[in-house]
Amino acid sequence: MNSNDVIIKPVISEKSTALMEDNKYVFKVAMSSNKLMVKQALKELFGVTPEKVNIVNVRGKNRRLRYRVGKRAAWKKAIVTLTAGDSIAIFDEK
């Protein structure tokens, strides 16, 4: 699996922005990925060494559209803790 296939996109939310102060970054990752794959993909794409990687399976919520009931897709989230001196450039743009 390619590194661009492992990490899909960064998650920008109020909670993930607050985690950046603790040097933690949140990404949406492929459902078939694991901690080692995420760690290796971050090294290749951003040139940083993650200290720790936590992965969470986010369940899809039920959603009602008019008279039908649907479901949002489930996805996988990776919370990456970097070493003290590292940062990811795409989050630092202001």
pLDDT of the chain along its 94 residues, tens only?
A: 899 999 999 999 999 999 999 999 999 999 999 999 999 999 999 999 999 999 999 999 999 988 999 999 999 999 999 998 888 877 665 5
Which residue in 75, 37, 78, 72 sits closest to 54, CA to CA? 78
Q: Are 64 and 16 in contact (CB under 8 A)?
A: no
Q: What pLDDT score does 93 carry?
A: 59
Domain count, the chain: 1
Q: What is the pLDDT at residue 94?
A: 53
**Is 90 inside a domain boundary?**
no
For residue 32, the enclosing domain spans 3-85
- Assess if residue 91 is contained within a domain: no
User: What is the CATH number for 32?
Assistant: 3.30.70.330
Euclidean distance between CA atoms 28 and 22, whole angstroms: 19
**How confident is the model at residue 81, as a pLDDT?**
96
Please check whether residue 92 lies inside any domain of the structure: no
Would you say residue 22 lies in a domain? yes
Q: Which of 37, 41, 39, 15 is nearest to 26 (CA)?
A: 15
